[in-house]
Structure 1
């Protein structure tokens, strides 16, 4: 527990500030953005500083980072910020809501896990993962790095979610399925096939592969 700088000044940063201030022992002391997006010198009554020079004002030996960003470019933008912070020497905190249900799960850093998530026993979660509110994460599963679950997703037992996946609202994943790297499972989709194609888009019930692959440059 300690002093934290939040990356961003958008809605997710504001939400992160609220959750950390009201449901954690961490103290938010500042916000940071890349210099080209530095339009104001304060946010929520706290300083906003350029990410490029952050370590000069807030050295990584004394402060931690938290980067709760949206899933732009299939979470690759959030990954790049996360890795940039690691290269500067920062540790990242994770926020796990006191209203989430866990069972001694292994959870990595820079995770943002909101209220009413149920994470069943023997499931592991990697780094830089966002689980929005109200998801069921089944037993003996693995969610790897840089993944975004929206709300009310059901992930059944023994599933593997590879890196850079994005899962839409009310999607369902059958037990024993693997979402390959960069899978986009659309809102309301019901996945029954055992393995998806990397960087594929799956829609419908049962979920089918949409023609074409995700363009990393425009998503």
Structure 2
């Protein structure tokens, strides 16, 4: 599949692994042409990434004016998504139109509503009458059930299942393989670790750690009777 025609110049805020991924996805699957990265001056550690300049965020309006550039903040869930939210407010206040990315390999129902400045990866299913707030990241392979609402500044990892009629509170993080039962409310500022099953409403600010798996007393090679191959 050929890349869409490029109609807008785009600056990515951030220079982490997510920024590299965002660069590839925007380049391959969107009408945006990435022209630069920007990082706050105190955290500027390099001058280029992906063959493009990395500039101080404080100099962004002078070097890449908002009248001719869009912006997307490619930052993960640092400080329960507060860092990404703060940077989004900063670039929006400077006048930049905020870009979203929705993968062409995602399914978004016609009745679903998506807020501004979201990044939705491939193989997400966003079902009917779902509401996705602003500044939400849905990494690959999630299921957001019908009539559910995901609040602002949320980060959903991969292969998360949010059942129908659920509410996910603002700033919450959902780890890989989390499962949320039907008709449940996950409150704001929750951190839910990988593989956790939520079967009742949660309270604001709660943390749910993943169950730790202990190694069996018998090692894998012994259990499967693996013998070292003789030298060649």
Query: Is the TM-score greater than 0.5?
Result: yes
Counterpart of 2:183 in structure 1 is 176
Alignment of 1:121-160 (within 5 A): 121-160=128-167
Q: Which of residues 165, 174, 177 in structure 2 aligns to 1:167?
A: 174
Aligned twin of 1:211: none
Alignment match, 2:80: 74
Quote the Cα distance in structure 2 between the aligned partners of 1:37 and 1:184. 26
Whole-angstrom distance in 2 between the partners of 1:117 and 1:56: 37
**Residue pair 1:111, 1:130 contacting (<8 A) in 2 also:** yes
Choose from 33, 44, 49 the match for 1:43. 49
Q: Which runs of 4+ in 1 moved over 3 A?
A: none
Q: Given the alignment, which residue of 27, 30, 42 partners 1:24? A: 30
Deviation of residue 204 (structure 1)? Answer: 5.8
Unaligned 5+ runs, structure 1: 206-219
Q: Secondary structure at the match of 1:90?
A: coil
Distance in 2 separating the partners of 1:47 and 1:204: 39
CA contact (8 A) 1:151 1:168 kept: yes
Task: Using structure 1 for the length normalisation, give the TM-score.
Answer: 0.90
CA RMSD after TM alignment: 1.3
**Structure 1 residue 70: deviation in Å?**
1.2
1:3 to 9, 18, 22: 9
State the 1:202 CA deviation.
2.2
- List runs of 5+ in structure 2 lacking aligned partners: 1-6, 212-232
- Please say which of residues 36-45 and 51-60 is displaced more in the overlay: 36-45
Offset from partner CA, 1:118-147 (integer Å, 9 cap, x none): 000100111111111010000011111100
Provide the TM-score with structure 2 as the length reference. Answer: 0.85
* CA distance in structure 1 between the partners assigned to 2:210 and 2:83 by the alignment: 27
> Structure 1: how far apart are the matches of 2:209 and 2:79?
18
Alpha-carbon contact 1:183-1:198 (below 8 Å) kept: yes
Contact residue 64 and residue 91 of structure 1 kept, 8 A: yes
